[in-house]
Amino acid sequence: MATRATSFLFTLFLAVTLTMGLTACDSSDSDDGMSFGGSADVTVSGASGGGGDFSGNSLFATSNDLDQTEPAFSIVMFNVTSSDTTIVAIGRDGDALPRTGSFDIGDGSESTEKFTGVYIYSDGGDMPNLGISKSGTLNLSTATESKMTGDFNFSAVHPFGTSDMSVSGSFDADRATPEQIDELESVLNEY
């Protein structure tokens, strides 16, 4: 159980790290030289606290990429605007990159082969809209050291059980580079 919590926390950490870094770097001045990976298209239904469909970017990383001690892997899809931030992150225990194929998405309490999904929407208010996966599927059509492509779907519930939602989409994710991670961490250190 402790290792599943680690995977969930890594997935959430990566999502929040990327979001805070991207939000802080988001401006009308696009000359910051930062490239934030591949593409993502996400559909969300039932998100009663705000948020919804988006076309954005995607990255993936292992805990080794972020110098974390507990082994984990995550794919993060995100859309950051001047008014809101939407994130979908899917992760699991273990630094090993997954192979191509279909994988179960669960609620974080299952075996290390199951992934956990997280949906986060924030408009800058005190409480973001959050969904944690209950069940679903991740399909990887490409899985290399530098690229992950595929699609996913999962049902999610707010941690307080206030609403159910359905999250699905596709991604063409690039691996987060050490330079991107260093840049994001330096932005975080300013807060």
Query: Which pLDDT score is estimated for 79?
Result: 84
Q: Percent of the chain, pLDDT > 90?
A: 32
pLDDT score of 186 = 55
pLDDT band at 4 (very low <50, low <70, confident <90, very high): very low
Helix residue ranges, H only, 97-164: none
Predicted pLDDT of residue 21: 46
pLDDT at 55: 92
Q: How many residues are present in the chain?
A: 191
pLDDT exceeds 80 at position 45: yes
Query: What is the reported pLDDT for 112?
Result: 56
Give the tokens for residue 113.
């082969």
Alpha-carbon distance 185 to 20, whole Å?
9
pLDDT tens readout for residues 99-131: 999 999 998 776 556 899 999 888 876 667 888
Instruction: Give the DSSP letter string of 164-183.
Output: EEEEEEEEEEEEPPHHHHHH
Give pTM, 2 decimals. 0.79
Question: So where are the chain's domains?
Answer: 2-188
